[in-house]
Structure formats: C-alpha cells, structure tokens
A and B are shown apart, each in its own frame.
Chain A
C-alpha cells in the first residue's frame, strides 16, 4: 500500500508542503500563509497536496512540522502574562542581564523590556551554595503566597529559577511541585527541567522564554492536532526543533524554548542529508529569502551546533561577540549566522555617500519598485531586474515586473548621486549585498578557522540561486549545488530529520583526574533518562542512537569546545585530550599544553525510524514542465562582460552539462549560471555548478 509522510514549513508569505510517498515520489505545493491562525494554511495545504498525490488522510503516516509560532510570539511580544520566582536578592537578574550594548557611541539606545515585569518578579528565602549544599531550605508556604498573588494578578505562566539549582535542584523542584499542586491553572516551568547549566542570567532567561511562549505554542499545536483529527488524519504530529531534530508535539508543548527556530534548522539538516547522498561532506548551506540571508555549515557530514543563541527583535548580525538586547536562550541550536540582507533589502547612501543595502527591507508590500505596488526605493531585486538576472515575470508567471521602475529608482537614489551608470549602480548594490551575505558565511567558516574554499555551497531559499554563484566566486568556493526545489527545501529537510532529545549533566573537574567510573555512571544516568524520554515518542531502546559529548576547555576559560565519544568504554583522557587540542588549534590557530577541564557531559539521543527521506531515491511525482524553448535574455554580469545574450532553459529540461552563461528557470526560483562555469544535472535531480 502506498503511504506518505508530509513536511510542512510555515513562512511569512507562503506555507510550503512536501509529500514523500513510499515509492520515493515527491510532491510539492505552496499555499498562502494565514498568520492569524497558521494551522488553517497547514490544513488547507495538506488537503491540497494529498489530492495532488492521489492519496487520502489514512495513507499519511507522519506529519512533520516547522512552526514560526514561537518566534512570532517573541517578535510580536504576544506571549503569556508571565511571573518569575527566584532566590532572595536576585529578582533583577533578568532585567540587568549582561549589561552590554549592541552598538557603541550611541547614547540614544534603549534596552528591550524584559519578558517579566519587575512587579511580577518575586523572591523566596532559599539558598544553595556553589558546592550544591542547601544553606536555606525552601518553605513551601512562601510559594503558595506568591501563587495567590499571581492568581489575583491574572498571571498565566510562571518561571522558577533559583541560584545554583544546576548543582542541586532540591529547592527548585520543591517549588515546582508545590506550585503545580496548588495552582493547576497556571503553567509553570522550572529552570532545571529546561537545561540545568551554570550562569544565572542565561538560565533565568531561557526559563522565562519557555514560560512566556508556552501557552501560545501549546494552544496552536492543540488546534492543529484537533484540525488534523477533524479531517480524519490520525498520524502523529512531529515538530522540528531549533537543533534540527524532531520531537512529538507533546515535548514542544512542554518545552517550547527548544522550538523557537523551528523550521529554519530543518533546512540545514536536509543539507547534511543531501550532502551525504551526493558525496559532498563539506557544505555551506546558504539560504536567502526576502529580508534575511543565513549560512550554516555541514562539516564532514555533520551540522554545526551551538549551545546558546539570542533572539533579537531586529535582525541579528553575525557578530556573536555581543550579547545584548535580545532574549537569550541556552538551548542546543544549529549554528546559523543571519544577516539582514535579502531580496527586498533597500539600497541607500549614507551622508558620506557610502553605498549600503539593508537592513531596511521593502517587504512583500509595497515591495521592490518593479512590483509596481507603490514602492519607489531601489532594492536588491530591482538591481537583479535591471541587470537582467530576473525575468520580467515571477512566481510561475503570476507576477509581472516593471523593469523601467527598477531602473528609475536605481538612477535617482544611487547612480546619479554617485556619478555611475544605472548598470554600475545595480552591480554595486549586488556586490554590497553579496559582501553582507558573505559575512554570514565567514561567521561560520573563517571565524572557526575553516576555509570556505574547501566547501561546496548549497543554495536554497527563493533568492539563494540568484546570488549563489557570485557569492561562491567572491569566497573562492569552486562548486555550487542547487537541490531539487530549492524554494521548499526546508520542508524537505524535515522529512530527512530524526526524532531527537537532549540531556545534560554537569561533570566539573580536570580531565586527567576524572574517573572512568564517574563517567560511566553519568553516561548510564543520561542513557536511562534518554530511553525513558524516547519511549514517549514510541522508540524502543534498540532503535535509539546515542551521541555523548564532553564540554571541554582549558582551565580558567569560560567557553567550551565539544568532543564526542561513543560510549563509556571509549573514555580515554589522553585520546580525548588529543581531540580537544586538534579542535582547539583548528578554531584558534594555537593550542597550549595547559590543563583541560571537563564542564558537562551531554547526550543527544536520536530515534532511528529508518524511513527518512533519501535524496538519492527521489522521483518527482509532478509532471516535468514543458521542454526548453530557444529563449534568450540579455544579462549584465559584470563591468567587464557588459550585456551578454544568455540562453534561458527550463530547469527540468536540462539533461546534460551546459556551459555558462545560462539561466535555469523553474516555478520556484531562478538559477543564474555565470560565464566560465558549467552546470550539470545529477541522477537525483540536483544541479552542480563548477567554475572553470
């Protein structure tokens, strides 16, 4: 019997769906997003794609989902009315934060409002010291008093975070249990049940974010599950987390802080899977959309992860050096560097006539000047239109672009003031936006001592393929890979992901003196916890993959690097030390012989279902578009090249290698292959561009 799994990714404009059936056929569709009730687009889309595939709801075995509800709740500040309970003397930790500013020399800057107002940040008389000893035991009566106050104030969700609870959760656990027992109508999150790590501000902030977004994500997922049930779809709903893993909807409902970047990370995991299938273990995943572009690394087949990130209301820059002005979360996250440069970024001159592009974006409305919707600012898209990179019709012919409007806007705002031709101005805008986007790529490569020239660039997102080849050349990257349907690649990535859960135990001490027995015991604890956790997701012990990692650093440092070990029998301090030294030298260019400290032991446990998407075996379920015509278009590639008559070929019609320049056209995107490059399709439907 033919069965199917469906991946759904909600974006700002479109909700993307990909259906993979048991024969390996792929179906793709896009429906308009419904921001007020995002589940509506999901349900509409599922009905539509099932019809396309000729399947019914009973054929669906899994729905995999990336949602922006978590990030939108933070962005729009529409989360729960939230309270905080903390140790006496420390209610302002959340508001004080780490006291830095994201810019300098700007005395007009203001800090963002904390997620919990001071009036709802309460203190209890309790204390655990830095050895994990309880100095002052908690009196549960204090929790009940605070609960009554919260109830009277209409608090909907509560975060609890006590000092040093990461070393001994007793007081915090008692507070949690007491609160939950007495106030069942108020959601409550304790820091130790999110991730028990050192640093009070980071842990408090993580817990507060969890409490703040919990009701909205929970309500959303409940409505979505209800909607699926109503349409007769009884397959499990899995949600993609910020680390690119999947979890049952129940986990997302309890620990939403792990799901704030749900979706985006799935594209990177998809990239890793694709990398394996095409034998390209080192990829830079480059995703360019309307307002932002992001980069992430797949190195030796593995995605790169970070243990902390900050959600900002504006656009985050790739500077990981500044911790300020956002909502900090200490949760495992795929390391994605993002810049405020996208197709809609507006080009402008500063008072010194320096050319800039972004972070201001024309958005979907009024959009670039060429949309003819009243926008008159020149954008990156306008530059692409003026230079012929984009066709005069977009989105499969549904939108006509006005080239003259693009040229007028560029001339007025950029070319005339700088004394350039319109083409020179447009090329300048393209180059600036490429430089900005290259910054994101540099942040995940050069900054780690990784040379991007050893990597292949994977271009995804609606606009990625329009810029990818230029960007690759600027960075010295020799190969660019365009997957099947780059525009919906994120949804495809979900079909490639595993169910994952994360566990951590502090294990402080010097590496040399850490006993094998302690390591074995800690691993056994973590393993037992993981087995229990994944049983909830329906995985038996023999279907679980375990990856253990030590957080290590030189004695005295504060930042750790991770070294993986497969099981307790592998614990060999000398070998681990060697691995650490080599990772350290690769990252920072030197490694000393100083003592190494262990900080934590982490476990990533993966449910292995055996039915992940296999990029090699994909077959398009949809009819290929009509064959190639003999169309050509003039494109102004560079100052040297001037206008070049360039063939335009339907992507699906590309059967053999073809030399650039050439444009490969498909309904979801435009691939630009410049001169001195060759584009070749592979058996699985990817296109690989090599530079001569």
Chain B
C-alpha cells in the first residue's frame, strides 16, 4: 500500500469517472431493453470489476444482485482464467455455478488494454421468461431446478466478437418469448460495450499500471471507511429472528435466524439455526444471502462509503450447508428473492440494536410478484405479464416511514398502468395506498399498496408470490407491527382469500387483488405528535378506529378529532 503513488486529486477523478461509467451503462440498459420487467420495472444491475473480479463501482440499480457478483466472478475467473480474449462475452444463470435464479442472466465482458486483462463490465438482467413449467419462470411451488427453465453454465456468448449461435439457438427454443429475451440480451451486450469503451478511456489516460494502483486504493478506501464505522459500534453478539410464511408447497413458518458479532473493526454474520432447505422454490444461494447481508450492513454505514469490494472485506457471512440459505442440488430457487428480502429484514432488525439512527422498522417484506401468462385469443401470440408491487418503508428514529417506495434492497420502478393495459390483456382496477396498513408508532410505518387486476384474455396462468401473511413486518423500540398482506380473488362477488403463494389457471373476467403489508412503526405510539395524527386522519391514511386503538385518540361529539383532549388523555 505504501509503494503506491497516489495523487489525491487523480484519485477523486478516477472514482468519479467510474461512477459516471456505471451511470451511463444503467441508462443505456433502460433505453434499449425490450421487456417491461427490465425497461419499466428496472430489474437489472450494472457494475464494473477490476481484473481480479473485485467490484469497483455500482450503478443505482438492484443492490440484491450486486453483492452476488463477486461469487459469480470467481466462477468465471476459475473457468476462463487463461481463456479470455478481447471480444469475448461470458454469460451464466445457473444458481449452482455462480447464478442466483434462472431468470437472472449475468453477462461479463472482459476488458483488455496494454495486452492484458484489466477488468470486466457486467450487466445482470431479470429476463421475462426462461422457460420451465410456469410462464415467467418464477413459481414458488416448483420442487426441482429442472422445472424452472433453461440452465446456462458459464459459457461464452461471444467468442472474440463472434456470437455463439448454438447457445443463442438453445435459449431461443427454450423460452416463451424469445424476441424479448434475445432483445434484452442484446441490450445487455450493447451496455457491456459502452462500459468497455469508457473504461478504456480511463486506461488510455492514466495507463493500466497506475490505474490499477488507484483501483487498489479505491477498494482500500472503502474498507477503511467501513472499518472505522464498525470500530465505533459496541463489541458483542447480537441476534434477531424473522419468519417466512411457507414455501408455496406447505404453509409452515420458516425461521431465518442471525447472529452478528461485532469485534473491533470486523463483523461476523452467522445464519446458524435458520430453516433447513425447503421443497418449494424459495431456497437462496449463499451468494445471494451474502448480497442481502452486505447491502443491509451498508445501510448502517454513513452515506458516502463507496460501494465496492472493500466494504465486503469487513464482513464474513456463513450459513449452514443444506439450509434454506445455502441449499444443495437440485433444490428449486426461482422465488428466492423472497428469502433475500427476509434476510435483509432479519439483518436490519439485528443492526437496529447496533446503529438505530440509520435503521428503519420492517418494510413491506419484499415485492409481491403477480404474473399472468397465456396466449392471446385472436393472434395466439404468447403473453407473460410479470408485475411487481412495492412497497413501504418502516418508521425511522426521527421520521415516519415512506409509502409507495421500492424495497431498499433494490431500486426498482413500477409498471405504468397505461403501458400495462396497452401491452397486456389485463385491466388495472385500483392502485392505491392502503389506509391503516401501517404499524403505529411515534413515527409510523409507510402504508402498503393495493393493486387490483382484471383478466381480459380468455384464460391465463396466474402466479403470485406474496408473503407477510402471518408474520407482520415488525416495529422497533415500542412501535407496532404493520398490517399483514392478502391475496383476494374476485373481491366484489364470490370473494375468495387466496394463499400467499399460488399457481393456478384462471378464466376471463377474473379479478385479482393484492393488499400489501405496510411498514412497522418506530417508537411508542403514545408519543406521536397529535398534529401528525390529525394530518393522517384528514388525508384518510388512517381511520378513527385505528387512531383510537393505537393513539388513544379522542373524538368530539361531531366525530371530529380532538387534539387537545387526546393530548390530555395521554398525559
């Protein structure tokens, strides 16, 4: 470290340069992708690594993907170490060889300068469909990886600039919507090229040797800031437990347990005691668990720590083999995102004991996936709508939670209703905030969302992945848990409560309603400012019943909220 010649100004310039590159790349994916899930919902990630596969910079994309990149990089470097040339592109999606679940296809483009490998530009995208038994390839109730779609071991999609037609053909023949999948792969490829082009400009300006010194410095810098933050935390063991409400096959509660050990400037995060691997498709690879853990710890750090490999060096993550957090072949994993969300909730709940000012009470518990797949009655063209519902944040130490917001482990968007209706045989009947769904607190949680769909096609395969049915999002420091989620079929006639996770065929005219959990509260509800109670009542975000039950609110004879009397009643 001492032999490096680091100029503080050049250092800042290179750091900013890398941030700009990933930003450019993220924008390019959004503009060129074909599927709604990528271009509207923004379920993709972009990052740059150095030649050793260490993350240098990440775009403001899905954080849950990014922490899994190091393990994927390791596989790529292992298998192709001496076999990469300019113009190569490697792809993979196999969870048992670097991937997470089959719809997420990783793409790596090695970058060469001065005759040697210098780094990788990387794009991970969630594809609309990768085949398997259910449209969208995302079902919770598969039991083996073989049911979930086409598995791609680490392979070259391009060799020295030439496309691998065999692999492309295999993909094309195994997915329901080849135009979208190949179009999105093309967007990933174009974006990798943009990353390469910009990276080479840096290498050209500073020279590969000095540039690598700055990369080392950048990673050390991330580590230094992380260690100094951890050193400020109180040494000790901290534990927390949260629950998943069933795996889609059975509805037995599935525990996720964590123990965080703070020792000096290092963290050990151990998931011993978590559930053994399950039959349904919510098993999560260890790489994904690491990713969820890294991002949760990152939230407890100050805002300006760079998101690179240096942060990861300070955190050791372990989970027992054969557990839901480190499964063995051929466990199904398609709906593993849910498990990642619960790992985030569990780790955050634990960190709240360590750094409460930066942590929130539990949010909605991860996005709900609602998918409709089938064939257009007239054209026989296949359609697959994969919609994701997000979300709410829990209350914080000094302010309310947020409503209508992405889960913090991602940075995804929502599908515009008019775009959805124009492209799919589905009509949206409601998209709204759910009154009273928040956890009460000195600072309440955000409200959950309701989204209600009506199927217009003759029939479709409906697939839903929800959770937080039984175990509500927790409150912190006296704050109340939020209301739970619900899936409802045909709410206005023949109302039927559906399970949290399901796959079933539904006919035209079916109405599907999801009511999502809100965020938990933070702090004692009886300390809540009466002006905030009055505001929430006026805005219809909470009802009188909720205010009376949680805040000891007093109403006068005309039914109006009486702030002064409430204040008095609570004194």
Contacts and interface: CB of A to CB of B under 8 A. Distances in A.
Interface of B: 8-9, 11-13, 15-17, 20, 23-24, 26-28, 30-36, 39-40, 42, 59-60, 63, 179-180, 183, 186, 189-190, 193-194, 197-198, 221, 224-225, 228, 295, 298-299, 301-304, 307, 348, 357-360, 390-391, 393, 396, 399-400, 402-406, 408, 411-414, 416-419, 421-422, 427-433, 449, 452, 538-541
Contact of B399 (A110, A321, A558): A110
A198 B411 CA distance: 23
A309 interface: no
B342 to A, nearest CB: 17
A198 to B, nearest CB: 5
Interface string A436-457: 1001001000110000000000
Given A90-B417, A129-B421, A108 B403 contact: no
Most buried by B among A103, A356, A432, A589: A589
Given A164-B421, A447-B24, A557 B33 contact: yes
A659 to B, nearest CB: 27
Contact of B16 (A92, A93, A321, A439): A439
Interface in A55-106: 89-93, 95-106
A559 B411 contact: no
B396 A446 contact: no
A119 B433 CA distance: 13
Nearest to B14: A435
Contact of A355 (B12, B194, B391, B399): B12
A7 B528 CA distance: 53
Contact of B540 (A101, A118, A319, A418): A118
6 contacts: A96-B403, A96-B414, A107-B358, A199-B416, A322-B60, A432-B13
B302 A321 contact: no
A105 B299 contact: yes
A164 B30 CA distance: 24
B418 A447 contact: no
A319 B299 CA distance: 22
B299 A557 contact: no
Most buried by A among B359, B405, B427: B405
Interface string A594-620: 100000000000000000000000000
Contact of A352 (B225, B360, B417, B430): B225
A164 B418 contact: yes
Contacts of A353: 8
Contact of B411 (A92, A100, A110, A435): A100
Contacts of A640: none
Contacts of B35: 556
B418 A352 contact: no
A351 B301 CA distance: 12
Contacts of A320: 27
A97 B30 contact: no
Given A129-B421, A352-B225, A432 B431 contact: no
Given A99-B391, A559-B39, A588-B28, A435 B540 contact: no
Contact of B432 (A89, A103, A351): A89
A90 B430 contact: yes
Nearest to A114: B404
Contacts of A637: none
A96 B32 CA distance: 25
A590 B225 CA distance: 40
A420 B152 CA distance: 53
B345 to A, nearest CB: 12
A92 B404 contact: yes
Most buried by B among A103, A130, A594: A130
Contacts, number: 211
Most buried by A among B194, B417, B540: B417
B203 to A, nearest CB: 16
A129 B427 contact: yes
B402 to A, nearest CB: 5
Interface of A: 89-93, 95-111, 117-119, 129-130, 163-164, 166, 198-202, 319-323, 350-356, 418, 420, 427-428, 431-432, 435-436, 439, 442, 446-447, 508, 554-559, 587-590, 592, 594
A106 B416 contact: no
Contact of B396 (A96, A108, A319, A589): A108
Contacts of B31: 557, 559, 587-588
A435 B32 contact: no
Contacts of A199: 416, 418-419
Nearest to B357: A108
B42 A100 contact: yes
B221 A352 contact: yes
Given A418-B8, A428-B9, 11 more contacts: A107-B358, A198-B422, A199-B419, A321-B60, A351-B302, A435-B12, A435-B13, A557-B31, A557-B32, A589-B190, A594-B179
Given A90-B430, A439-B20, A556-B180, A107 B404 contact: no
A431 B299 CA distance: 31
A107 B34 contact: no
A98 B413 contact: yes
A323 B299 CA distance: 21
A201 B416 CA distance: 7
Contacts of A432: 9, 12-13
A50 B12 CA distance: 50
Nearest to B396: A108
Contact of B402 (A105, A109, A435): A109
Contacts of A92: 404, 431-433
B427 A107 contact: no
B303 A105 contact: yes
Contacts of B419: 198-199, 558
Contacts of B406: 99-101
Contacts of B393: 107
Contacts of B430: 89-90
Contacts of B190: 588-590
A107 B345 CA distance: 13
B304 A105 contact: no
B13 A431 contact: yes
Most buried by A among B20, B28, B393, B419: B20
**Cβ-closest 8 pairs across A and B:** A96-B404, A556-B34, A89-B430, A130-B421, A118-B539, A321-B27, A559-B31, A428-B9
Given A322-B60, A435-B16, A446-B198, A554 B413 contact: no
Given A107-B396, A166-B418, A355-B9, A99 B298 contact: no
A96 B449 contact: yes
A488 B340 CA distance: 55
Contacts of B399: 108, 110
Contacts of B414: 96, 98-99
Contacts of A91: 432
Given A354-B12, A557-B33, A559-B39, A101 B413 contact: no
A508 B12 CA distance: 47
A350 B15 CA distance: 14
Contacts of A420: 8
Nearest to A418: B8
A442 to B, nearest CB: 6
Contacts of A350: 304
Nearest to B66: A104
Contacts of B348: 107
